[in-house]
């Protein structure tokens, strides 16, 4: 029985790992270029972003670690376009924020213009890793701090993952409700537009009938 429970828990962990809300990528930016990314995040969810930069070296023909003087500016906006983070970091950095409004959050990065002369006309490669929800937790550190056994740690991970799934489900319900409200509003507008068109056609028809009647009466008088 215990073996089946372990297999079941392991299967759940693999499933949740497959649903892992974590993104890692890299991109290139120019001297005055700004890169923005959209991340759909539930409310009350922690997000951690890590990045490192590399400069293009013409002599080496490859990207090398950036100089310490080069910095990156990170700006994050919530779904209401309100700035929740705007800060200058170094060539390698880590930023953290917690969402308070569910929806699409905009994460923008650009290099500091005062140091761009270091690679004027060159390219900058930025490696970005964004972790959302329970994936921001450092479980080895938690296990060492709370003196958890391996089984207790796995249970803790499962509980955190279940909590994150509940947040995702609440966010999906929120999106569904907003979509339903938008659909109802659109249908109502279409209905009123159809009614307005019908009234305009009726008024136009009545006016044409009166105009034709007056025309024929005038012809008889002539």
Contact 45, 133 (CB under 8 A): yes
pLDDT at res. 83:
92
* Mean pLDDT of the region 4-32: 55
Domain count, the chain: 2
What CATH number does the domain containing 116 carry? Answer: 2.60.120.380
Rounded Cα gap, residues 72 and 125, in angstroms: 12
Give one word for 147, left, alpha or beta, with left for phi > 0 and alpha for psi -120 to 50: left
Rounded Cα gap, residues 160 and 148, in angstroms: 15
Domain end call among 136, 160, 177: 136
Residue 145 backbone phi and psi in degrees, to 5: -70, -45
Task: For the full predicted model, state whether its pTM sits above 0.75.
Answer: no
Q: Domain check: are 106 and 67 in the same one? A: yes
* Mean pLDDT of the region 107-112: 85
Domain end call among 106, 136, 166: 136
Domain for residue 19, yes or no?
no
Residue pLDDT, tens place only, 134-185: 767 777 777 777 777 888 878 877 888 888 888 888 888 888 888 888 899 9
Q: Which domain holds residue 156?
A: 139-221
Rounded Cα gap, residues 86 and 46, in angstroms: 17
**Bigger pLDDT: 85 or 116?**
85
pLDDT at res. 22:
55
**Bigger pLDDT: 108 or 149?**
108
pLDDT at res. 84:
92
Q: Domain check: are 82 and 145 in the same one? A: no
Q: Domain check: are 157 and 85 in the same one? A: no
pLDDT at res. 221:
52
Q: Domain check: are 46 and 93 in the same one? A: yes
**Bigger pLDDT: 31 or 178?**
178
Identify the top-confidence range among 19-23, 39-43, 62-66, 80-84.
80-84
Contact 54, 125 (CB under 8 A): yes
* Mean pLDDT of the region 47-67: 82
pLDDT at res. 75:
92
Q: Domain check: are 64 and 144 in the same one? A: no
Domain for residue 7, yes or no?
no
Domain for residue 3, yes or no?
no
């Amino acid at each position: 029985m215990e073996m089946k429970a372990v297999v079941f828990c392991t299967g759940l962990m693999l499933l949740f790992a497959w649903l892992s809300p974590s993104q890692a990528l890299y991109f290139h930016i120019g001297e005055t270029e700004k890169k923005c990314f959209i991340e759909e995040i539930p409310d009350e969810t922690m997000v951690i972003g890590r990045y490192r930069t590399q400069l293009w070296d013409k002599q080496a023909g490859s990207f090398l670690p950036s100089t310490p003087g080069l910095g990156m500016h990170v700006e994050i906006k919530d779904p209401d376009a309100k700035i929740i983070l705007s800060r200058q970091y170094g060539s390698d950095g880590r930023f953290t924020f917690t969402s308070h409004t569910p929806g699409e959050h905009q994460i923008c990065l650009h290099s500091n213009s005062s140091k761009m002369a270091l690679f004027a006309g060159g390219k900058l490669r930025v490696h970005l890793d964004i972790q959302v929800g329970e994936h921001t937790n450092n479980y080895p550190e938690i296990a060492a701090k709370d003196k958890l056994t391996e089984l207790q740690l796995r249970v803790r991970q499962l509980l955190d993952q279940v909590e994150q799934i509940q947040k995702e489900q609440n966010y999906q319900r929120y999106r569904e409700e907003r979509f339903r409200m938008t659909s109802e509003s659109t249908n109502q507008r279409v209905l009123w537009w159809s009614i307005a068109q019908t009234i305009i056609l009726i008024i136009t028809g009545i006016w044409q009938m009166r105009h034709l009647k007056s025309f024929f009466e005038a012809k008889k008088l002539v």
